[in-house]
Amino acid sequence: MSTLTPETKEKILSSIRTIPDFPKPGIQFKDITTLLNNPEAFRTLMDHLQERYASYDLDYIAGIDARGFIFGSVLADRLGIGFVPIRKKGKLPYTTVSEKYSLEYGFDEVEIHIDAFGEGGLCRERPARVLLIDDLIATGGTAAAAARLIDKVGARCVECCFVLELIFLKGREGIDAPVYSVLQL
């Protein structure tokens, strides 16, 4: 099942609710809570991701705050590897490294523990191989910053994975790693 059929894609997509005009007028918010509480659709998605990434020789999954934590921790457990959270600034308790990214009006920051992937990012005497995951890629600013963070602490972001990609926003173009999205809108 590494390639989803149109039927399985539709099963996942139809489980995601669209909320019009949230958080502001004109936005069609994709609400994944309905995917999460649909065990058949969620299992289909996670089975697909497990099969896709089983041969990637990954050391860690890094999830972006907060919905990436859900998909990332489940996938890390299924693959028998570690999970690392990438959080909004000020949420991690130990020494961190941060990366800024632009928003429509200003900047924001994400952080990671300096030793998230071992001393100097090394795992098995080589840079740790990390998959970055989140629920959605829109403009790509957060994901690009998170991928840079992984590299900044000495690991290697081998791919960025998203459940949904809003392709008209071209967010993947700003990311310096391969990008995979399960569904494209």
Which two tokens mark 4? 């989803």
**pLDDT for position 2:** 66
What does the pLDDT look like over 44-62, one tens digit per residue? 999 999 999 999 999 999 9
Query: Does the active-site annotation cover 172?
Result: no
Per-residue pLDDT reduced to its tens digit, 21-52: 999 999 899 999 999 999 999 999 999 999 99
104 is catalytic: yes
**Is the distance from CB of 122 to CB of 60 less than 8 angstroms?**
no
Annotated active-site residue in 67, 78, 109, 156: 67
* Alpha-carbon dihedral sign for residues 134, 90, 154, 144: positive
171 token code pair: 């967010």
CA distance 182 to 163: 5
Catalytic residue, candidates 7, 104, 119, 125: 104
Confidence band, pLDDT 50/70/90 cuts, at residue 1: very low
Name which of 83, 88, 58 is nearest 71 in CA terms: 83
Mean of the per-residue pLDDT values of the chain: 94
Which domains, and CATH codes, for the chain? 56-184 (3.40.50.2020)
Q: What is the pLDDT of residues 119-157, one digit of tens each?
A: 777 777 789 999 999 999 999 999 999 999 999 999 999
